[in-house]
């Protein structure tokens, strides 16, 4: 794996990740909802802890949500963006390829934001 692939998820890498994580999709949904709910509760119960809650939005809410999207979009047999899906499969292959790449890059950006940028803003006050 080249260094570029560490920062840019291709559709094939996303499909491999989705195949491994698809069995955990309900756990990813539950952890994302619990994470967002806990952050929401902390913000309203103790407003003084809002910066800490904001720092945890990415790791507790955004990252599980992004992995859930990978599972649901890119799974090779059940994903909504597979070439044989009912709606997505009717699009021209060039459009399918473009949308899969766009979604893979979006997920990469979402993971970077969730893991580094949001906590960085909260911790360093950027």
Q: What is the pLDDT of residues 56-91, one digit of tens each?
A: 888 889 999 999 999 999 999 999 998 888 889 899
CA distance 99 to 11: 10
H-helix or E-strand containing 83? none
The tokens for 58 are 């990415």
pLDDT of residue 7: 55
pLDDT of residue 28: 95
pLDDT of residue 3: 43
pLDDT of residue 9: 81
Give the chain's residues under pLDDT 70. 1-8, 125-126
Contact assessment for residue 111 and residue 7, using Cβ atoms and an 8 Å cutoff = no
The tokens for 3 are 């260094």
pLDDT of residue 6: 46
Contact assessment for residue 58 and residue 113, using Cβ atoms and an 8 Å cutoff = yes
> Which pTM does this prediction carry?
0.85
3-state helix, strand, coil in the chain (%, to 5): 80, 0, 20
pLDDT of residue 89: 86
The domain segmentation of the chain, as residue ranges, is: 12-124
- Helix, strand or coil for residue 62? helix
pLDDT of residue 126: 53
């Amino acid at each position: 794996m080249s260094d570029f692939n560490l920062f840019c998820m291709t559709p094939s890498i996303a499909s491999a990740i989705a195949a491994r994580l698809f069995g955990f999709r309900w756990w990813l949904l539950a952890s994302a909802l619990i994470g967002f709910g806990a952050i929401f509760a902390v913000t309203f119960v103790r407003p003084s802890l809002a910066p800490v809650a904001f720092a945890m939005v990415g790791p507790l809410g955004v990252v599980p949500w992004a992995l859930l999207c990978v599972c649901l979009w890119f799974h090779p047999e059940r994903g909504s963006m597979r070439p044989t899906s009912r709606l997505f499969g009717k699009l021209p292959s060039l459009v399918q390829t473009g949308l899969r790449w766009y979604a893979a890059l979006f997920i990469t950006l979402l993971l970077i934001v969730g893991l580094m940028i949001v906590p960085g803003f909260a911790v360093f006050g950027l």
